[in-house]
Chain A
Amino acid sequence: MTVPAGFCHEPLADWSREDNMMKMSAAVRKDEKELNKTYPTLYPLFIGGERVIKTEAIFSNNPASSGRIIGLITKANAALIHEAAEGAYEVWKKLWRGVLFAERADYLLKAAEIMRERRFDLASLAVFEVGKNWQEADADVAEAIDYLEFYARRMLELGEPKITEETPGELNQIRYVPRGVVAVIGVWNFPWAINVGMISAALVTGNTVVFKPASVSAIIGWHIVDIFRKAGVPDGVLNLIAGSGQEAGEELIKSPKVIGIAVTGSKETGLRIQQLCSQYPCEYGFKEIVAGEFGGKGKIIVDSDADLDEAVREVIRSAFGYSGQKCSACSVAIVTEDIYDCFLRRLTAAAKSIIVGRPQDPGSMLGPLISKKALEKVREYVEIGKREAKMVYCGEIPKAFSSAGYYHPPVIFADVPVDARIAQEEIFGPVLSVVKAKNFDEAVEFFNHSDYALTGGIFSRLPSHVARAGEECGAGNFYINRGITGAMVGRQPFGGWKHSGVGSKAGSRNYLLRFLYEKIVTENLMRRGVALADC
């Protein structure tokens, strides 16, 4: 086992229990009122422990009803951003890097406790700010708690002194040294889990952090920082700025005080940040991406002998859960010729039966996309798809709320050529391409024809095919006879290669090492030919 001792998953809510339904329902009703005020709350930034409120602000709205602003947050200008980075550097040097690892781990465990107590309230925020349905929102919060628990306990293991080799008369010890100021560039699709994961990893390893949440989930970003403050993290250790990626994000990365970047975003974001790292060096070391997760193009192979009951159900879930706005989502199904027609028929019928609904209503499976920009991008790809392949299904959005938010219906393209743009580029929406393969060999070849290597899977019951797929398919997370989303912290450490990511897998035992330098201390224990200590 590779999970640290004492780690235990936060269980997802059991919705068959009336009490959970009532609690979530109460949280949602409360937020429905609260977040619909005429004068929305203006949230401050946190810089060096100070609350900073300025007149210029960005707003975050409810994607299911785009007119509704659920909160405003102060926009950070260049001066504020640099102030935040410099302040973080001072606090790191003078305080945080010297704090004992066990104490730092303890802040994470306290934050986990606070989140556990407020689980349904926090989930409800994800319902309204990023349009997650109940189940997805709950899972997001539970995963955030998992990260806190996992990294805290992993740090407790790492912090214990270790020696490299038993050597007579000499002591060789490993110590871990924090890097400095880490910029955390947040993401909106798992506004709790991924951001809490990146921040907690940076903090527990002794780095100070300037966190810039995605603008569309800035209010949850504020709450994350608030939770760490309530957990007792000292002033200035975790700073919050807000603004767009192009402006605030780039300005932060450019700071000479920033040495590491933890980021989740698109492939383009990743390439751009690498460029900035070399153009704007850090003044006390090499600046680099310590943890980067950059999109994917999840694919599932459906083999001739697949159990179609399972394959269809899981492809649907993986493709359309949270409207396909997951890096791990299944975007392409590669189906062997002999079952292609049958699979497609059942798939299309199943897509028709998906409940499209408002995120706040329990039971909705497919809700809105995150923003107008996202909606336009998906529409564009659907147009491209119509030219490249055959559109076999396009659902409908109920009239009652279709115009209120950024909804896009589920879409399925069939007979998609493997090199078509819709089968190659990340769409991040409810669009599924079905590719026909002559046989299993061709299916594997199609699978690997990709810019990304993040998630993938196969439905097959032939042992040799299962073994070969596990060996040959390029994907950081590969699943056999199950869906390809919902990786769990510690159980399925998450991340890929090619243009899907840099660094170690999130939720793995190696992740924290990326935030640390490894130092070997060698001490000669002999004095004038006499060993002075047992070693």
Chain B
Amino acid sequence: MAMRLITGGIYLAKLAIEQRRREIEQELRRLVSKEMRPARSAYWWYQLFARRIMRDGELRAQAMRFVDVFPALKNPEGINRHIKEYFAAGPHSSSLLFRGIVGAGRFPVAKHAMALMAGAAVGAMAGHFTIPAEPPKIIKSVKDIRRRGAEYSFDILGEQVLSEEEADIYKQKYLKSIGLLRGFNCPVNLSLKLSSLYSQFDPLAKEATRREVAKRLKEIARPVKDSGGSLTIDMEQFYLRGLIWEIAKELLSEEEFAGFANFGIAHQAYLCDSEIFLEEIIQAAKERRASFWVRLVKGAYWDYEAIAAGQKNWPIPVYTAREQTDASFERNADIALENYPRVKTAIGSHNLSSVAYVMAKQEFLGLPKNAVEFQTLYGLGTPLIRPLKEMGYPVRVYVGTGNTLEGMSYLARRLLENTSQMSSAFFVEQGRIRR
């Protein structure tokens, strides 16, 4: 009898949260669509582009391939040749636009113009999502974000780290950015991929990995902590997660970092074992003096995880359906929120349903508004910033910085993420389709 009462109570609570989620989502959609209305240059074009290529699978693949190869092309001939081969064949080649573009490429003058145009287009797109690693640009973006009432976190984009030389260069880039922000009296907020701190990062080479990563990580973490800023560790591919978590825990166990409060990890809800892993994180947080941030995301390596596991004949570590990931995201949010203030929750999703769910749950638990921080990606989540602020929540913008080449893999990933079936960030598109 008592059991039935409890389950009944849980059921009612769920119902109430669900009801409230719908209300909030509606409100969010209304506010976001207000932000969307003006044809805002680059963003508007991106939307148009994304919509166009989303409809055409083949074109989407070719566009992705072009964005991927573009930074490696060094002359107009190379650019033209790729444009021609990527877009001149296939079903869309019959369209007047493509025939025009490709046909024009035959003339020397047009050839250069076309290469320039393509360069400008890709550059503009990359520029929309990333910031060049130049001091004035970085400082400007910090001011910009703060003007909107949001905080920021920088992610320094890089090529793959293939050697110790390159790992050192990568570390130096971080230290330079840290120095820059400190010079302007800004707190240093960074998100970090540990695999870029050691070229032989591998669970098999555990000892060497721990030693080398810890060395470079401490050099970066120290000034971040001293500036009063924050550090978020990306959990990357599933194969590396255990080792990354181990290194993160080791850092925190050191006296120097024991009281470092703005330390967190990105936690991926698309992993089938994400709830078990979150419990482990919470356990670690409980044993710690300072609190711990959990940045809840859906996960950015979905294709990779599914393919790598498929090729190796390993169990697929991620949910294969979009709805499963969304549900897991909500379950993980429940666990994280219920453990406030031991863990603090950051929400790294643009999906309005997911965002609304977290707000509803937060209200239900009676937590203060600043118990959760909502995080958006630079350039992509811009329309979300004002609504979230108006509703009274803290907002942080994630900014990738790097040169074109470095920005490109990031851009490719974002593009893919936002046009794929598993997309978690393609909120506006979904909103429109629904209406």
Contact = CB atoms under 8 A, between A and B. Distances in A.
B104 interface: no
Contacts of B257: none
Contacts of A363: 200, 202, 204-209
Contact of A15 (B159, B163, B166, B204): B204
Given A353-B199, A353-B200, A362-B206, A461 B65 contact: yes
B365 interface: no
Nearest to A12: B312
A382 B344 CA distance: 59
A475 to B, nearest CB: 21
Contact of B85 (A8, A12, A463): A463
B162 A312 contact: yes
A350 B82 contact: no
B203 A21 contact: yes
Interface residues of B, number: 37
A289 to B, nearest CB: 33
Contacts of A352: 163-165
B103 interface: no
B271 to A, nearest CB: 13
Nearest to A303: B72
Contact of B162 (A8, A15, A309): A309
A362 B164 CA distance: 19
Contact of B68 (A134, A313, A355, A461): A461
Contacts of A12: 312
A198 interface: no
A305 B78 contact: yes
Nearest to A20: B203
A355 B209 CA distance: 11
A352 B166 CA distance: 11
Contact of A304 (B78, B164, B199, B204): B78
B203 A307 contact: no
Interface string A380-399: 00000000000000000000
A306 interface: yes
B165 A349 contact: yes
B72 A461 contact: yes
B74 interface: yes
Contacts of A16: 203, 238-243
Contacts of B242: 16, 18
A2 interface: no
B421 interface: no
Nearest to B212: A353
B288 to A, nearest CB: 23
Contacts of B15: none
B36 interface: no
Contacts of A309: 159-160, 162
Given A16-B240, A349-B165, A461 B69 contact: yes
A305 B85 contact: no
B314 interface: yes
Given A12-B312, A16-B203, A352-B163, A306 B72 contact: yes
A15 to B, nearest CB: 5
Interface in A502-521: none
Contacts of A306: 72
B313 interface: yes
B73 interface: yes
Interface in A297-319: 304-310, 312-313, 316
A386 B119 CA distance: 43
Interface string A96-138: 0000000000000000000000000000000000000011000
A393 B85 CA distance: 38
Interface string A274-313: 0000000000000000000000000000001111111011
A308 B68 CA distance: 12
A95 interface: no
A196 interface: no
B122 to A, nearest CB: 14
Nearest to A304: B78
Contact of A11 (B207, B238, B314): B314
B204 A134 contact: yes
A464 interface: yes
B81 interface: yes
B86 interface: yes
Interface in B62-83: 65, 68-69, 72-74, 78, 81-82
Nearest to A8: B313
Interface in B280-324: 312-314
B136 to A, nearest CB: 28
Interface string B199-222: 110111111110000000000000
Interface in A353-404: 353-355, 362-365
B235 to A, nearest CB: 12
B177 to A, nearest CB: 22
Contact of A305 (B72, B163, B313): B72
B200 A355 contact: yes
A338 interface: yes
A349 B166 contact: yes
A11 B312 CA distance: 6
B313 A15 contact: no
B241 A349 contact: no
Contacts of B78: 304-305
Interface in A27-46: none
A481 to B, nearest CB: 11
Contacts of B202: 15, 363
B205 A362 contact: yes
A126 B166 CA distance: 34
Nearest to A351: B163
Residue of B162, B164, B312 ringed by the most chain A CB atoms within 10 A: B162
A364 B200 CA distance: 10
Interface in B203-260: 203-209, 238-243
Nearest to A313: B162
A531 interface: no
Given A12-B312, A135-B204, A363-B205, A349 B72 contact: no
Contacts of A349: 162-166
A305 B204 contact: no
Residue of B164, B240, B313 ringed by the most chain A CB atoms within 10 A: B313
Contacts of A462: 81-82, 85
Interface string A456-469: 00000111100000
Contacts of B73: 305
A93 interface: no
B205 A353 contact: no
A330 to B, nearest CB: 16
A308 B204 CA distance: 25
Interface in B147-199: 159-160, 162-166, 199
Contacts of B72: 304-308, 461
Contacts of B314: 11, 14
A449 interface: no
Interface string B257-291: 00000000000000000000000000000000000
A9 interface: yes
23 contacts: A14-B239, A14-B312, A15-B203, A16-B241, A304-B72, A305-B73, A305-B78, A309-B162, A316-B162, A346-B162, A346-B166, A349-B162, A350-B162, A352-B164, A352-B165, A353-B200, A355-B205, A363-B200, A363-B207, A363-B209, A462-B81, A463-B85, A463-B86
Shortest 3 CB-CB contacts between residues of A and residues of B: A363-B205, A349-B163, A309-B160
Interface of B: 65, 68-69, 72-74, 78, 81-82, 85-86, 159-160, 162-166, 199-200, 202-209, 238-243, 312-314
Given A352-B165, A353-B163, A353-B164, 15 more contacts: A9-B313, A10-B313, A14-B239, A16-B239, A21-B203, A134-B204, A349-B162, A349-B163, A352-B164, A353-B165, A362-B205, A363-B204, A461-B68, A461-B69, A462-B85
